[in-house]
Amino acid sequence: MSRFEVIFTFIQYEIKRAIARKKVLALVAFTILLGIVPYYALSAAGSTLIPSNIYPYIWVVGVFSVGPLFLNFTAILIAAGAMAEEYEQGTAELLLSKPIRRSDYFIGKFLGGYTLFLFILALNIFLSVVSAFTFFGVQSNLHIIPGLFLAQAFSSLVFYSLAFMLGELIRRSSLAYIFSSAIFFSSFIISTFMGLIYTLTENELYKTIQIYLPTSPANSLPIQYALPNLPQSITNFAGFINTATPVPTIELSILILLTYTLITIAIAAIYFLRADISRKQN
């Protein structure tokens, strides 16, 4: 078997393992719910409340409303258990006693979980478009979907990597999930406060802190990508599509996200390659 085949085996294994843990099925169920219910609710509220010029772009409502919270949580939930659950269940030991490189196992587990996340993300976008089409007719500017998909996927990678790293360092899936979520929430709240204080004081320090908190580029990037392709009417309608993103440029968002992601992956990899493989945690 080549290294690629071994990694591919672990990608498949990780997907199967995560699905068997049932939580992914729950996430898929939520994704379906979130992809359909908002459109049904908007439609039921009465089409007269929604300006007709919004109709062709209403698919972005579903995409952007779930992005900041649900998708990042999904990424955290999948990644926190990817390594940790193998230690908790004692299954890592047997897999790593075979003549394989630890790095192949690590890459396979990382990519396997991430593939699963990408599936949920794709399902979310797909359902948003289909629901928008069903309730509000033909949709426009769908050509930006591939790019938007990549922007969302890249944005969530920072919290996926963080939870993956904590899962490996702590080796307890529930703790890794709690810590990752705490970091996510703290970043979100602090970012909001920093923005508020900056508005009041115009002190650049608060603005700088806000920019470099991980939630800022994560929330900014998909909007920064999509905005040039969306009419102002839809951003006015959907207030959560914040046109004044905390991070000023798309390049800076990518750079900050990339830095956080690479640092967390590097820490997880170095630790995993050097540390003992712990036995079943009781």
Partner 1 sequence: MAATISTNSSAIIEFNQAIKDYGSNKKIGPVNLKIKKGEVVGFLGPNGSGKTTCIRLILGLIKATSGTVKINGFNPISNHVEALRNVAYSPELPNIQTFLSPREFLNLISHELPYFNDNTIRQNEINKILELVGLREYSDVKVGKLSKGMVQRLSVAQALIGSPKTLILDEPMIGLDPAGTAHFRKVFRNFASKDHGTVFMSSHVMSEVESLCTSVAIIHRGTILFQGTVAEVTKKVLNYSLIQLETSPLTPKTIQKLTKIKEIISIDPTLNKPKNNQKTTMEITLNEKDVDIRPLISDIIVKSGAKLYTIKQNENMLERAYIEALKEKDGGQH
Give residues in contact with partner 1 (CB under 8 A): 1, 5-6, 9, 13, 16-17, 20, 89-91, 93-102, 274, 276-277, 280
Residue among 20 and 266 whose Cβ is closer to partner 1: 20
User: 123 with 113: CB under 8 angstroms?
Assistant: no
Which two three-digit tokens encode residue 18? 């995560």
- Say which DSSP state 228 is in: G
Least distance to partner 1 from the beta carbon of 83, Å? 15
DSSP of 104-173, one letter per residue?
A: HHHHHHHHHHHHHHHHHHHHHHHHHHHHHHHHH-----GGGHHHHHHHHHHHHHHHHHHHHHHHHHH--H
d(CA 137, CA 27) in angstroms, rounded, equals: 28
Least distance to partner 1 from the beta carbon of 69, Å? 29
Which residues, 6 or more positions from 246, have their beta carbon under 8 angstroms from its beta carbon?
191, 195, 210, 211, 216, 219, 220
CA end-to-end distance (rounded Å), the chain: 35
Residue 238, SS3 per DSSP:
coil
d(CA 123, CA 206) in angstroms, rounded, equals: 37
Least distance to partner 1 from the beta carbon of 74, Å? 21
User: 136 with 45: CB under 8 angstroms?
Assistant: no
Least distance to partner 1 from the beta carbon of 109, Å? 13
Residue among 97 and 232 whose Cβ is closer to partner 1: 97
Residue among 102 and 150 whose Cβ is closer to partner 1: 102
Residue among 20 and 205 whose Cβ is closer to partner 1: 20
Residue among 18 and 247 whose Cβ is closer to partner 1: 18
Residue among 137 and 280 whose Cβ is closer to partner 1: 280
Least distance to partner 1 from the beta carbon of 207, Å? 46
Least distance to partner 1 from the beta carbon of 106, Å? 13
d(CA 151, CA 225) in angstroms, rounded, equals: 7
Least distance to partner 1 from the beta carbon of 14, Å? 11
Other Cβ atoms closer than 10 A to 267: 16
Token pair 């990508």 in the structure block, residue: 225
Residue among 157 and 269 whose Cβ is closer to partner 1: 269
